[in-house]
Amino acid sequence: MADVATAPHPILERLTAIVGARHVVTDPGDAAPYLAEPRDLFHGKARCVVRPGSTAEVAAVLKACDELGVRVVPQGGNTGLVGGQIPDQSGEEILLSLKRMDRVREIDKDSMTMTVEAGLTLLRVQEEAEKAGALFPLSLAAEGSCTIGGNLATNAGGTAVLAYGNARDLVTGLEVVLADGRVLSNLSKLKKDNTGYDLKHLFMGSEGTLGIITAAVVKLYPRPRAMETAFIGLKSPRAALALLNLAQEIAGGAVKTFEIMPRFGLEIVLRHASGARNPLTSAHDWYVLLEIGAPDESGETLMRVLEAGMESGLINDAAVAASLEQRKDFWRLRELMSEMQKHEGGSIKHDVSVPVAKAPQFLEELYPAIERFMPGARPVPFGHLGDGNIHANVSQPVGMDKQAFLDRWYEMNEVVHSIVVRLGGSISAEHGVGTLKRDLLPGVKDPVALEVMRAIKKTLDPKGILNPGKVL
């Protein structure tokens, strides 16, 4: 069955008049890349894929859809992991891709801001900031293909949250097209604006259910003169947390990244990734990737942290990146951890957060809980210890049928999420809710909060045309 509807509909003529026939995609082969997500968990159908090239065109598209009652699924780089960017199976929705909207509208070095359109890839935003002698700190593994609009719509986290915050912390203004085609234009550069509700925060993290972000003013930061990077072996998550506290005592806000990885996770990467090697001479139960933004290239700050960690017994071994290539090699070990799991069979993924102080307790409880539920299952919890966000992935037991393992996805969720909720955490730290976690939300979210969310949705999207069935 075709993934793009073949029956004519009045919306197709309207869309063609707005963006041109070339940008209304109805061919199933051309539309296919938009209709499945990276993990292959969600596949959708669409009446068409429409690719507007300007805010005015997005506004006209939504106005037409609102008038005709056609539902719209917005999409950036199609890198989301919870199905929020994929249409349903009805074939009646249209998919609105923002990838043509990829201009840098302005760089204001004095205000330390950059105004960018939603379809610009995160990597391009970083590169344009670097050309201007500045830093845009949002960074994640998919940065070469994910878009800044998608990052903001999902409130992406990444590896620098410890120092700079989530995506919502990196924005001063937004341009958003509402469900009926009106444009909310608030491309403000202001650091202070106390004139009522801060509306931009409604749309960041809303996953396209309240409006479609078409442009943003993002914050720029001074570039660190040097980045000191270490790959560290230690015995436990508690030792890792103590090392984080020690690093912050010594280096303060210069600690940019603090990533934790288990021994089995590193073993997977070393086993399956071409050219990967362990920077340390022996294996350790846990590893940390630590980065410090330094005022110069002396390496003194990092060495002070490592020496103090050794003296206090927190660090078993450490390697310091002596070159940019070595730094990339260290990062590759961390960034490939999720991808390399596929070589070990089925993998059930969790994107959770707990208070930083409780992260060691979460990891200590996680292993026995999974073993009780499914003997032989292999946890691969890794991620951003500095902000409490752990990707508590689980690989299937050796020899188990892959589909039989994946069929127990939601049961495994219950095992992991029950610990998270008891520790005051969240079942979605940075990937969003989408379709994957939508039905889990009522079990973990405050009922009054859900009522408020539904009321906001009804007010901004009374006909329910924006990304229906996602989040709520």
Answer yes or no: do 213 and 250 share one domain.
no
Q: Residue 407 belongs to a domain with what CATH number? A: 3.30.70.2740
When the pLDDT of each residue in the chain is averaged and rounded to a whole number, the result is 95
Q: What pLDDT, in 10s, does the model give residues 219-254? A: 999 998 889 999 999 999 999 999 999 999 999 999
Answer yes or no: do 247 and 333 share one domain.
yes
Answer yes or no: do 236 and 265 share one domain.
yes
Give dist(CA 250, CA 369) in Å, integer: 36
Output the DSSP codes for 259-281: EEEEHHHHHHHHHHSTT---SSS
Domain limits at 417? 345-444
Q: What pLDDT, in 10s, does the model give residues 368-418? A: 999 999 999 999 999 999 999 999 999 999 999 999 999 999 999 999 999
Answer yes or no: do 293 and 254 share one domain.
yes
pLDDT at 5 over 80: no
pLDDT at res. 115: 98
Q: Do the domain assignments include residue 252? A: yes
**What is the helix (H) or strand (E) element at residue 441, kind and residue range?**
helix 441-444
Q: Residue 286 belongs to a domain with what CATH number? A: 3.30.70.2190
Structure tokens at 432: 């969003």
Answer yes or no: do 368 and 352 share one domain.
yes
Cβ atoms of 22 and 141 closer than 8 Å: no
Q: Would strands 104-108 and 183-186 be described as parallel, antiparallel, or unpaired?
A: unpaired
Other Cβ atoms closer than 10 A to 439: 10
Answer yes or no: do 29 and 109 share one domain.
no
pLDDT at 76 over 50: yes
Q: Choose among 211, 88, 216, 221: nearest CA to 147.
A: 216
Q: Do the domain assignments include residue 91? A: yes
Considering 222, 241, 260, which residue would you say is the last residue of a domain? 222
Output the DSSP codes for 321-384: --SHHHHHHHHHHHHTHHHHGGGGS-EE--EEE--GGGHHHHHHHHHHHHHHHSTT-EEEEEEE
**What is the helix (H) or strand (E) element at residue 309, kind and residue range?**
helix 300-311
Q: What pLDDT, in 10s, does the model give residues 259-274? A: 999 999 999 999 999 9
Answer yes or no: do 93 and 111 share one domain.
no
Q: What pLDDT, in 10s, does the model give residues 442-458? A: 999 999 999 999 999 99
Q: Do the domain assignments include residue 454? A: no
Which range has the worst mean pLDDT, 114-123, 290-299, 312-321, 424-433?
A: 290-299
**Exposed/middle/buried for 275, CB within 10 Å: 0-12, 13-18, 19+?**
exposed
Q: Do the domain assignments include residue 471? A: no
Q: Do the domain assignments include residue 235? A: yes
pLDDT at 3 over 90: no
pLDDT at 1 over 70: no
Q: Do the domain assignments include residue 4? A: no
Structure tokens at 199: 């509306």
Give dist(CA 400, CA 378) in Å, integer: 12
Answer yes or no: do 216 and 233 share one domain.
no
Q: How far is CA 170 from CA 98, 114, 139, 231, 451, in A?
A: 20, 11, 12, 28, 28
Q: Identify the band that residue 38 occupies on the pLDDT scale cut at 50, 70 and 90.
A: confident
Answer yes or no: do 68 and 154 share one domain.
no
Give dist(CA 181, CA 31) in Å, integer: 24
Q: What pLDDT, in 10s, does the model give residues 340-370? A: 999 999 999 999 999 999 999 999 999 999 9
3-state secondary structure of 65: helix
Give dist(CA 260, CA 289) in Å, integer: 7
Answer yes or no: do 301 and 381 share one domain.
no
pLDDT at 460 over 70: yes
Q: Do the domain assignments include residue 21? A: yes
Q: Residue 46 belongs to a domain with what CATH number? A: 3.30.43.10
Answer yes or no: do 353 and 284 share one domain.
no
Considering 222, 254, 270, which residue would you say is the last residue of a domain? 222
Task: Output phi, psi for 92, to 5 deg.
Answer: -100, -15
The structural domain count of the chain equals 4
- How much is the average pLDDT of 179-183? 98
pLDDT at res. 141: 87
Considering 323, 338, 353, which residue would you say is the last residue of a domain? 338
pLDDT at 6 over 70: no
3-state secondary structure of 232: strand
Answer yes or no: do 153 and 182 share one domain.
yes
Q: Identify the band that residue 297 occupies on the pLDDT scale cut at 50, 70 and 90.
A: confident
Q: Do the domain assignments include residue 472? A: no
Integer-rounded Cα Rg, in Å, for the chain is 23
CA-based angle 281:284:287, to the nearest 5?
100
Q: Identify the band that residue 7 occupies on the pLDDT scale cut at 50, 70 and 90.
A: low
* Predicted TM-score (pTM) of this structure: 0.93
Helix axes 359-373, 237-251, angle to 10 degrees: 160
**What is the helix (H) or strand (E) element at residue 131, kind and residue range?**
helix 122-131
